[in-house]
Every structure is written in C-alpha cells, then in structure tokens.
Chains A and B, each alone.
Chain A
C-alpha cells in the first residue's frame, strides 16, 4: 500500500481547473496560493492591456493578469462573480483573473498530451500541454510567461 501511494505521488499531480472565456484551463495546484473573489484593481500606468492592475492582498501589492486577454481572447468586464487565482511565479506572486474555478483534477503525467501544432504562437507560450477528459479539452497553463517579459530582465 505504501508502495502504491509512493507510486501515485511520483506519477500523479493535481490541477486546479478553471474557465476563462469559453475555454477550460488548469494550473498545477502546487503553484496556487489561494483563490479569492474579484476586487477592483488599481490600474498601472503604461502596463500591457492584459494587466488589469494591482490589488492589495493583505498588504502585498499583487498584479492581476486577465488570462483571457493574455491568451488573445476578448476581454470581459470583471464582476463580483469573477475569481482571482493567486499563483506563485518563481519568487513572485500574481493573480490570474478567470471566469470561474470548476474543479480539482488528479491527472497522471501520461495523460497530458503535447500542445497540438495548430495552436497559435501566443497560446503555445502559456500552454504546456492539453488534457482530454470526458469529451472536454483542458489546457495546462504554465505561469512562466504569463507576466510581462520585461519583469525577468528587471529581476536580474
């Protein structure tokens, strides 16, 4: 039994599934710090369009990325029903603005398929792979490129 659980640990990972626009995505649960409701953000001057602004997360200034806009989908005006997924990116934190959180998935490594070639260049930057599940397609998001590229330069 112990052997089995060990085996599971090495091969299975949990993902938080959510919707943005009409699409379904998921993100490794290990990089999710918390999930909270939408609060109005303060705009940052000269920020890219997918940066909604910053919010106050218990005294920390947290940038909010509109994931839909980041992926090239049309933006929506956030309402109280929208959700912010606070995720860890390296040693920074960022909030992802999404429509709703739908599920927690346990996925085996083997069932994550490589991103199909048809995907646009933009999507390929953030989508690490896709999961086919119950007739749905869920894209696995990697946080690495979600924030503006200049940030890494600034950090160095």
Chain B
C-alpha cells in the first residue's frame, strides 16, 4: 500500500473514533452534562476531523466540519447555551458529518440539500455570516495536529539578558520505572544556569498507604539561564511523557535568588519523617487543593493503551488455539490409553497442559470480545431518524453498553436490532397527542439494555408504547391465512404470531419499518446466531423483546450422543432434560410417528437416526435415551438417541467453508479423538418435517 493511502486509511479509522466521541459527548450534553470537558471533547472531535480532512483536501468535509466547529466554539466559549432544539441540530449534524466522512472515504462526495439545510440552521443559530467571515481561515487551512498537552507559546526573541524559567515538574511512576532520576535532571538544569528547587510534598500519603514504587513528589524549579527554552526542554527529552511538565518563561532577569544546595536524599528523608503530619494536615484542610480536585478528571481522561490488530491475525490465532485444544485433548487421550504405567507426573503435566490451553483459549476469545456500545450508538441514530420521520418525540435509553460480546455477534446483531428499534418507534410508540391522552409523558422512551446472564448475553429492546394490539394481530393473521378463523389463542401465542413468515404484509408497509423485512427475518437472524427471541407485552404499557445470545460463536456447550455408531453433538442450550425411556410412555401414531409422554404432556418423539437418514425408520422405538428439547419458538419435542456419552465444550467448525449447509446440521466440530462430529440443528430437525406435531401443540405454527 502506498504510504499516502495508508495514512488516509488511518485518518478514516481515527474519524470513526472521533465520531464516536462526538456522539457520546453530544448525548451526554443532551442529558444535561454542561461540563466544559465534555464540550471540549466534542469540539476537539470535530476539529480533528476538520484538520485531517484538510490535509487530504476533502473540501466538502472541511467546510461542513468548520461550520459545525464554529457553532460548537460558541458553546465552548459560553456565548451560546444550547437548548433542546440546538442539541437536536448538533446530533443531526453529527449524523451528517458521519455520512460525509463515509462518503469521503468512498470517494463520492456530494454536498446535497440535507447538508446545506443543516449549514443554514447553523448559520441561523450562530447569528449568520459567521462562516462567511471566516472563509479565508479554512480555505487556507493546512494539516492541524490534534492538540497536545503542552501548549507552547512561540519561542521568545533572543535576549542577551538572563531568562528566568519557571518549571513545574511532576515525575510519574513510569519515570522511575524507566530508571530516570530527577536529581540527574536537576543537575543537568543547574549546568545551564542558576537553579532553585522547591519540592512539593503535599501529595504524600500516610505511610500505611505509601507505595514505595509510586511517585508523590513534584517540584517547582526556577532557572536563571542564558539558554533558550529549547535548551531547557532538551533536558527533559528522555522523560517526556513520563512526567507532567510545564516550562514557562517568567521574565528575563528577575531578582536573583540565592542558589541553594540541593540534596534530594536529604529532602526525601525529611519528607518521609514529616509525611504523616503533612498528610494529616492535608486531610484536616476542609477544602481540597485544586490539584487534588483535578486528579480524578485526569484519571478519567486517561485511556487504556490499545493497539490496532488486523482481524485476520486474530482469527488465525483463534483457529490455531482451537487446533491446540483439539490436539491437547487427543494427546491426553492417547497417553492415558496407551501408556502401560500410569505415571503420575505425566498425568499431572497433562492436566497442567489442559489448564493452560483452556486459559489460552479463553484469553484469545476475549480478544474478539467487543463492548456493544458502538452498536447501541448506531441505534441512537436510527431512533432519531425514525422519530423525525414519524414526528414522534423519542428518547433512547441505553444500559449495559460495556457488556462484551464476540465481534461477529455484535456485527450480525446490527440488522435485526435496527429493525426492532424501528418497529419500536414506528409501531410501538404512540404519537405525542395520543400519549398525553393516555396519561403518559409526550416523549416516548425506547430502552436498549444489555447484560450477561448465565453465560449468555441478554439484550432487551423495550418501549413504553401501546403494546401489541392483540385483536388486530389475530385479525390480520386470520386474514393472511396463517391461522384458521375460529382459533382460540392465548396472549403469548398471539404475540408470537408476529414472528411468522408472511405476517408482515403490504397493509403495514410504511417507509420506515415494513420494508419487506418482517420479524420472521429478525427471528431467523437471531437463531442463526444461536440465539433466541421472545416477546412480552402489556396493553397500554409497552412491549419488550428479549434476545438471548451466546457470548461467542466459536465454542458451544453440548452433549455428545451416539446414533448407530455415529457421534453427534446436541447444543446444551436447547436441552431441557433427559427423559427416562420407558416403552409404556411411547405412543405410536402410525406412519413411523411416535409421541412420548412426559408428565402427562405428549410431545413428538423424533428418531434422530431415521430423521438424518443414518438408519431406516424403526417401527418401534424401544431402546435408547430420549432427550427433551425446546426449540427457539418454545415448542418441545423429544429426540431419541442410542446413548449419551459426555457433556463438553466443543469448538464450532463451519461445514459450509468447504462443503455446504446441511439441513438438520448446525455445524461440525472436532472431538478429542481428532474425528469430526456433527452438531445437530435442533430447530431444523424438529421443525419442517413435523408440522403436524407442532400444530397439535401450537395451532398457528401451520404456516407453510
């Protein structure tokens, strides 16, 4: 890749981050956060995008960012206190900016009406003409680096007289960790001229909380020298980044201060003796020092260091670790089976190896884990757009954005979630008048929450709208021929009608939801992720869609079963229980169809061997183990297998990479003996061929 393209790529990657920061900041401003740090962060984000865009001559982006920035600058300086409408404008502008960035990346920039409209609104907001007046400034704009911590005034003109620098120097822990020594720096400074040092010890803690490896001291230095700032700064070259450093040119030739002999060890000793009293004094002081106040803010701003890694590399690593796990299992099995003497040390080593492999696997999986935050942020944009289009007042409340899920799950969740959010705003929430009439606040709320629960991720989309209109749903289902006209359905059965293919039809098509994508597609994509979806709804109070998803698509807990010498894996999530297999509980329904009685409930009994074509359908099912399973739509069935071997975690291997999708098989895996085993797709196994069964339990399932 040529270097410019690489830099360009980095710029757009950074843009993504800036846009996220921008939206984050704006949202918290909308929540009433008027902290100057937040406003600054928002401003910085737009400013950085503008600067980078200038370097790449992305003029449309620059000019839009500039107007945005100008408006934000007014907010920053306090000239403009944004009201709710202004905040909405800012958010819309952020969306538009994101679009422009995307368009610039793809090379197709068209400044269309929406952007111009937003620009107009900005001009109105900031009192017009603002942009025009500053036209020159951004026309000649060159690359502007992101603002750094050290704001340096321009170097002073050379003066023959002595310069006086005040230097505030606070070493950080890292400085000492890298074997640097303030004393050496001070000696170096002293060589430039006359140095006065004052040590600040007020941050010293009690001895009982004293961390000998931490840094608690800071110094105020006064340096009289003929040298220029550059020379002074050079002294700190090696510790840059490992200390807080401010170098100020106070004045040339101030009153000379008598040089003081400097002995750091003596100071330190003194400090250590005095520390408790000083600390006590500090605590006794009612008002916290400004420094102490500033500290937590700085800590908040500190970002954990990260690196960008090519996703391919991570996936390769994950694959390799998957192989390692299989090989380790194979090795263990072979050693334990073949060795004549059970060597305890070998066994112990094997166990240690197993523990290590598992730990490596978990750590590697964690690399792919991503917080759902970016996904949720995308949803807030969807909410804004749909709310605008339907003229509803909607607020999106998000919870648990830090919840981490596998990257693929996050990515594949975007479409179904978008659809559900659209539905919630478009169909779920009422218009403002209707809401007021129902005694609700005019502003509707859509809640998006994520949480970890027993090894799975639960994502809830709920609204405080009108709830599912059950009579209407039933009426439509009957009209579409999905259920017979005289059917009596329970509330939850009616709710589940929404998931039927063919339910979403032309009569509900609006330009927002109902773009030919129904809830059945949502359900299918969730199921493809190994997840489940359920609805609960209360009339007049709103609906909640609950998604339950696996944390990763790479491993799965399952039980290993045999059918006619062949080994299969059944996902544990589908299994309700294993049922004692007694011939008296099996009822024959003719045509190789059987039902199993489980505590007075009759469920279809499916012979896995016959269903998969492993063996011919048996006329009686007297041997084997029945496993009661529940499919994603909540119907229960029993699977008949010959034997249950084991319960274990298996690595999911795609069958489609080199072969194709097989009906009834979800994926493949590799077992401890190195052989491939098929993972059953319980839903498909129970579903299509057993409509009659399903109909017996849930009449409406007779969809196709």
Interface residue ranges, A against B (CB under 8 Å):
40-47, 51, 53-56, 58-63, 92-94, 147-148, 150-151, 154-155
Contacts and interface: CB of A to CB of B under 8 A. Distances in A.
Interface of B: 319-320, 322-323, 326, 566-567, 612-614, 653-665, 668, 670, 674-678
Contacts of A42: 566-567, 668, 675-678
Given A56-B326, A92-B658, 6 more contacts: A45-B614, A45-B678, A46-B613, A56-B674, A59-B653, A155-B660
A54 B659 contact: yes
A154 B661 CA distance: 7
A84 to B, nearest CB: 13
A70 B668 CA distance: 24
A20 to B, nearest CB: 21
A44 B566 contact: no
Contacts, number: 79
Contacts of A155: 660
Contacts of B654: 61
Contact of B675 (A51, A56, A60, A94): A56
Contacts of A46: 612-613, 662-664
A40 B675 contact: yes
Nearest to B321: A59
Given A45-B612, A54-B676, A60 B661 contact: no
A56 B327 CA distance: 11
A69 to B, nearest CB: 16
Contacts of B677: 42
Contact of B566 (A43, A58, A63, A150): A43
A61 B310 CA distance: 24
Contacts of A151: 659-660
Contacts of A47: 662
A51 B658 CA distance: 12
| Complex A-B, nearest 4 residue pairs according to Cβ-Cβ distance, in ascending order | A45-B612, A59-B323, A151-B660, A42-B676
Contact of B662 (A40, A45, A56, A58): A45
B613 A45 contact: yes
A92 B658 CA distance: 5
Contacts of B660: 148, 150-151, 154-155
A61 B566 contact: no
11 contacts: A42-B567, A43-B566, A44-B678, A45-B662, A47-B662, A53-B676, A58-B323, A59-B320, A61-B655, A61-B659, A150-B660
Contacts of B678: 42, 44-45
Contacts of B675: 40, 42, 55-56
A85 B322 CA distance: 24
A54 B654 CA distance: 11
A61 B662 contact: no
A154 B612 CA distance: 20
Contacts of B676: 41-42, 53-56, 61
A148 B660 CA distance: 9
B653 A61 contact: yes
A61 B665 contact: no
